[in-house]
Amino acid sequence: MKVIILAGGLGTRLAEETDYRPKPMVDIGGRPIIWHIMKTYGHYGHNEFLVALGTMGEQIKKFFVDYRHLAGDISIDLGNGDTIWHDDASEDWTVNLIDTGPDTQTGGRVKRLSSHVGSETFMLTYGDGVADIDIDKLIAFHRSHGKLATVTAVHPPARFGELKLDGSAVVDFVEKPQISDGWINGGYFVLEPKVFEYIDRDSTILEREPLERLARDGQLKAYLHDSFWQPVDTLRELRRVRQLWEQGSPPWRVWS
């Protein structure tokens, strides 16, 4: 199943990191966020990606063009230019890097990729967050209800740590727990191609009219994911995922 990754936004709330690179290229443990997302899909056997590029998209292109050269050990014969790779460090991915315009909104970017998707069910997510979502279960849920669209619903992480008190005594401290009530759009969509008919133009924001109309038409279902999910919208959130990676067992690392 093809996977669209929206990778064209400005990332203004991460300005210190995104002044000179696109948000999906922000580094976690030596690899950009988009690589972590793709590793999750690849773990479940989904290896064909449509990356919707926008602002500074040439940096994402360069990363994938150079990926095999940078990922493993090589020998180069400078006399004739022959290159030998000593291990197979590259991923078994097909990555389609498609310029969808610097100012196109999320819905418009999806619409521009319709000819690449064709008539098959496809997946879609954002290029700026990580999760331990079980893609197999997500797809099975989508197929079970027969509607046009599935969105993954998640609990937003709390902005601050939580203190549990007994009077003035702190009996427990939890750093940034998941909020137990309320659900939000966590990305990780499964969509039927008829969804393209709900998107009008480049200026269409996917999360507004298209999803609102799908909901009104009874064509939008929510897959409830109550495990780890973390957007990377702020420096605080970026520091958190970097710390989790450095600790050695990041929750979203479902691959071996």
Write down the domain spans for the chain. Answer: 3-155+181-246
Residues with Cβ within 8 Å of residue 61, at least 6 apart in sequence: 53, 97
At 170, is the pLDDT very low, low, confident or very high (cuts 50, 70, 90)? very low
User: What class is the 3-155+181-246 domain?
Assistant: alpha beta
Lowest mean pLDDT, pick from 24-28, 163-167, 247-251 = 163-167
Question: What CA–CA distance (Å, rounded) separates 220 from 206?
Answer: 13
DSSP string, 87-156: S--S-S-EEEEEE--SS--HHHHHHHTHHHHTTS-EEEEESSEEE---HHHHHHHHHHH--SEEEEEEPP
The answer, yes or no, to whether residue 166 has pLDDT greater than 70, is: no
The residue ranking higher by pLDDT, 138 or 181, is 138
The answer, yes or no, to whether residue 25 has pLDDT greater than 80, is: yes
Residues with Cβ within 8 Å of residue 165, at least 6 apart in sequence: 171
Q: Which of 191, 138, 148 is nearest to 6 (CA)?
A: 191
- For 239, the enclosing helix (H) or strand (E) is helix 235-246
Average pLDDT over residues 139-167: 83
What pLDDT digit, counting tens, does each position of 78-135 carry? Answer: 988 888 877 665 689 999 999 999 999 999 999 999 999 999 999 999 999 999 999 9
Q: What Cα–Cα distance (Å) separates residue 45 from each residue in 2, 122, 210, 242?
A: 10, 13, 29, 26
